[in-house]
Structure 1
Amino acid sequence: MNILVTGGAGFIGSFIVDELIHRGHDVTIFDNLDMQIHPDGHPPDYLNTHARFVQGDVRDYDAFHQVVREAEVIFHGAATVGVGQSQYEIKKYVDVNVGGTANLLDILVNHTHQVRKVMVAASMSSYGEGLYACDEHGPVRPGLRTEEQMAARDWEQHCPVCQVEIKPVPTPETAYQYTSSIYAQTKKDQEDMVLNIGRTYNLPVVALRYFNAYGPRQSLSNPYTGVMAIFISRLKNDQPPVIYEDGFQTRDFVSVHDIVQANMLAMERDEANYEVFNVGGGNPMTIRDISLRTARLLRKHIEPQITMKFRKGDIRHCISDISRIQQKLDYEPQIAFDDGLKEVIEWSDGAHAKDLFEDATRELRDKGLV
């Protein structure tokens, strides 16, 4: 099949491209080579040479139309990514993530095409805080912690009924989405728009809510990328990983290889049509533990810097409930976390890692977000 991958020169997109090529498909990559991800402005060395590369921006309607009209299947992953940055580069995030998706859907509705299915990369960030359980009151969804609570270093969530400390439990796709950043809002808007138009025009679509992705090719010089890549960049530059709060907040990490597995299943299975799926590893880990494991594998005797400070809008816990994708699509995470981390560390030996964390933190501080 002729398959279009938007954002196909990026971290996750490039692995989707590799798997599609391996399966014998004709693949077109549409990517603008954003300087924040690709600072030299050139296609990355890892880009699959068997794919056709078209440099272009999803905000450019005519250029986007040219590649969409040739496709039979689309993986829409082009997006600007960064929770903190989205709180002050609002127009850019909305223009790229929402505007780019609007262009795609407008093209599909108003122009002749051969597209038979669309997969959209959604995000767990749209949940805000995950689901929790109170021993007395059962499942609860607390809102974001207040600044007063955070300033008092009362990091954990409390039952909104009895105020006792509560524990995180897996969050299903049916949980209400309490977006806590512009980035999260744009990702929610992307999936809502795609599902709306897909259902309206009987065009099969699938929304995949990625949890905390990690793996090779994640930019080590982009301070707005995933926490693991930021920690690796800091440690490779002999700087301590900087951790907000007390470090015991958890994230649910999922290997890029498992994300690719989920995308292939979504493309191939009719049971996926018009559905939303969590794509997680089901194995939450504390940020403090991630920093220590990363330092150990890099053979760096550098302790993390636990700041006991907080960023506005940060969540405490969100764990994936992957039972739906397991039952409907037979998805099973294949990459154990320690194996995945070792793979990233080995890859990082030859990767450029410019530490821009302090610059990003300064921007957040200047905007009053830290």
Structure 2
Amino acid sequence: MKKVLITGGAGFIGSNLALKLIEKGYEVTILDNMSKQIHGEDYTKSNLYRNIEGKVKFILGSVENKEDWRKALKNIEIVVHLAAETGTGQSMYEINKYIDVNIKGTSELLDILTNEIHSIKKIVVASSRAIYGEGEYICPNHGLVYPEEREDKYMSCGDFSVKCPICDVTVKLKATTEETKKHPSSVYGFTKQAQEEMCMIVGKSLNLPVVAFRYQNVYGPGQSLKNPYTGILSIFSTRIKNNNNINIFEDGQESRDFIYIDDVVEATILGIEKNEANYQTFNVGTGVAITVQEVAEILKEKYNSNVKIEISGNYRLGDIRHNYADLTKIKKLLGFQPKINFNTGISRFVKWVETQNIENDNYEKSIEEMRQKGLYK
């Protein structure tokens, strides 16, 4: 029986992964700080926690605390490091928090593995599509280019398109491969890049296999409906359930690659079990880009709601315009193929939401925080 530690294991991805690993015969330990932003004031009432309660060895603690790491790592063979602060917008003004948890927290693990006796044989680290920033595009004049973050001078005039960094013309979107230049446009993206690269550097120096998964937008039943900072489907659903109108940023045509939780769990387990994954980074997505406006309209229809969808032209500095994954590498090396398309996945998500208590809608509060910092316009 293999012993696995999942940091952030009481979260959305972690709890689903834990249950699947237990089903496969693994012994699972979870280290989690039970963030109120995700689990509410009393984590023992959180559905995410209740799903794993009594099925795992649970340690209430923080990745920022080396003693908590030492306790959690005892007799562990595989570490799946998911613990992180994850809000792109929030990261632009809670900078110390994101650096401390995402980078410093990871450094505590790596320091122990480098300087102390341990039983770890593999690390799987959760990275993010955010490390690519605007990703890669095709310019009619210069071919393949890697645009910088979009400028306020264009966005304030309603031009949300991505520009060539050389000639400033509008460029055409291309699927993002693992070889795409890493140039994050948010503090969150920067911290995920640092996490990934720190683990790879130290893992190679110790001859300790590391696998990094660059997850796209993960969704599905069980996703926190309390967190107003991340998760478009959850944020929109909570708005709708509170009969609040949906404010869509920009022109509504910004797009993301949405991947269902079961597919994410499958990909992660392939990384745990396959040697072909060692020292590799992989995109985990569907390879399909879906606009935010489409998401809002589908949710409104499925909830049979009368709320208004308002395409406001507002925007957040640090947001990317588009991103969808090229899956060639993960299909070839790990045999991964996403099984749940968006229509099926969103139907399952809505069906689950309909069984949940209506959560307080704190979205406006989160927007006001950004507005006060000059990051929301």
Judge same fold: TM > 0.5, yes or no. Answer: yes
SS of equivalent to 1:91: helix
- Structure 2 partner of 1:15: 16
CA 1:276 to 1:240, structure 2 compared with 1: closer, same or farther past 3 Å? Answer: same
In the alignment, residue 362 of structure 1 is paired with which amino acid?
E
Select the residue among 281, 288, 291 that pairs with 1:276: 281
**1:233-312 residue pairs with structure 2 within 5 A?**
233-312=238-317
The reply on whether 1:39 has 2:44 as its aligned counterpart is no
Quote the Cα distance in structure 2 between the aligned partners of 1:214 and 1:170. 20
**Alpha-carbon shift at residue 136 of structure 1 (Å):** 4.6
**Alpha-carbon shift at residue 162 of structure 1 (Å):** 4.8
In the alignment, residue 20 of structure 1 is paired with which amino acid?
L
**Alpha-carbon shift at residue 133 of structure 1 (Å):** 1.6
Asked if the contact 1:220/1:351 (under 8 Å) is kept, the reply is no
Quote the Cα distance in structure 2 between the aligned partners of 1:27 and 1:143. 41
In the alignment, residue 52 of structure 1 is paired with which amino acid?
K
Quote the Cα distance in structure 1 between the aligned partners of 2:119 and 2:225. 37
Asked if the contact 1:34/1:41 (under 8 Å) is kept, the reply is no
CA 1:164 to 1:90, structure 2 compared with 1: closer, same or farther past 3 Å? Answer: closer
Asked if the contact 2:76/2:119 (under 8 Å) is kept, the reply is yes
Q: 1:112-136 deviations in whole A, cap 9, x for unaligned? A: 1111111000011111102112345
- Structure 2 partner of 1:205: 210
Quote the Cα distance in structure 1 between the aligned partners of 2:255 and 2:330. 22
Asked if the contact 1:14/1:48 (under 8 Å) is kept, the reply is no
- Structure 1 partner of 2:369: 363
Quote the Cα distance in structure 1 between the aligned partners of 2:165 and 2:115. 47
Q: 1:63-92 deviations in whole A, cap 9, x for unaligned? A: 211111320111100111111111111111
- Structure 1 partner of 2:192: 187
Quote the Cα distance in structure 2 between the aligned partners of 1:351 and 1:195. 40
Quote the Cα distance in structure 2 between the aligned partners of 1:274 and 1:48. 33
Provide the aligned length of Structure 1 versus Structure 2.
370
Quote the Cα distance in structure 1 between the aligned partners of 2:156 and 2:43. 44
SS of equivalent to 1:173: coil
Asked if the contact 1:144/1:313 (under 8 Å) is kept, the reply is yes
**Alpha-carbon shift at residue 206 of structure 1 (Å):** 0.4
Select the residue among 61, 70, 74 that pairs with 2:75: 70
- Structure 1 partner of 2:3: 2
**Alpha-carbon shift at residue 259 of structure 1 (Å):** 0.8
Structure 1 range deviating more: 218-227 or 131-140: 131-140
**Alpha-carbon shift at residue 48 of structure 1 (Å):** 5.0
SS of equivalent to 2:154: helix
Q: 1:296-340 deviations in whole A, cap 9, x for unaligned? A: 111112231111121111111111111110111001001111111
**Alpha-carbon shift at residue 161 of structure 1 (Å):** 4.4
Runs of at least 5 residues in structure 2 that lack an aligned partner in the other structure: none
Quote the Cα distance in structure 2 between the aligned partners of 1:180 and 1:324. 24
SS of equivalent to 2:297: helix
The reply on whether 1:95 has 2:96 as its aligned counterpart is no
Quote the Cα distance in structure 2 between the aligned partners of 1:162 and 1:195. 35
Select the residue among 110, 115, 121 that pairs with 2:120: 115
- Structure 1 partner of 2:133: 128
Runs of at least 5 residues in structure 1 that lack an aligned partner in the other structure: none
What is the aligned-residue RMSD (CA, Å)? 1.2
Asked if the contact 1:17/1:48 (under 8 Å) is kept, the reply is no
**Alpha-carbon shift at residue 137 of structure 1 (Å):** 3.3
In the alignment, residue 280 of structure 1 is paired with which amino acid?
G
Asked if the contact 2:102/2:191 (under 8 Å) is kept, the reply is yes
In the alignment, residue 364 of structure 2 is paired with which amino acid?
E
Q: 1:31-84 deviations in whole A, cap 9, x for unaligned? A: 110111111332422225321111111111112111113201111001111111
- Structure 2 partner of 1:318: 323
CA 1:67 to 1:343, structure 2 compared with 1: closer, same or farther past 3 Å? Answer: same
Asked if the contact 1:168/1:319 (under 8 Å) is kept, the reply is no
Q: 1:110-169 deviations in whole A, cap 9, x for unaligned? A: 111111111000011111102112345322211111110111111112334454432211
Quote the Cα distance in structure 2 between the aligned partners of 1:134 and 1:188. 26
Q: 1:196-237 deviations in whole A, cap 9, x for unaligned? A: 110010000100000111111211111012111100110111
Quote the Cα distance in structure 1 between the aligned partners of 2:133 and 2:118. 36
TM-score calculated relative to the size of structure 1: 0.97
Asked if the contact 2:85/2:98 (under 8 Å) is kept, the reply is yes
TM-score calculated relative to the size of structure 2: 0.95
SS of equivalent to 1:170: coil
- Structure 1 partner of 2:148: 143
In the alignment, residue 161 of structure 2 is paired with which amino acid?
E
SS of equivalent to 1:54: strand
In the alignment, residue 29 of structure 2 is paired with which amino acid?
T
In the alignment, residue 16 of structure 2 is paired with which amino acid?
F
In the alignment, residue 363 of structure 2 is paired with which amino acid?
F
Quote the Cα distance in structure 2 between the aligned partners of 1:229 and 1:109. 39
**Alpha-carbon shift at residue 288 of structure 1 (Å):** 0.4
SS of equivalent to 2:59: strand
- Structure 1 partner of 2:160: 155
Asked if the contact 2:4/2:29 (under 8 Å) is kept, the reply is yes
Asked if the contact 2:131/2:183 (under 8 Å) is kept, the reply is yes
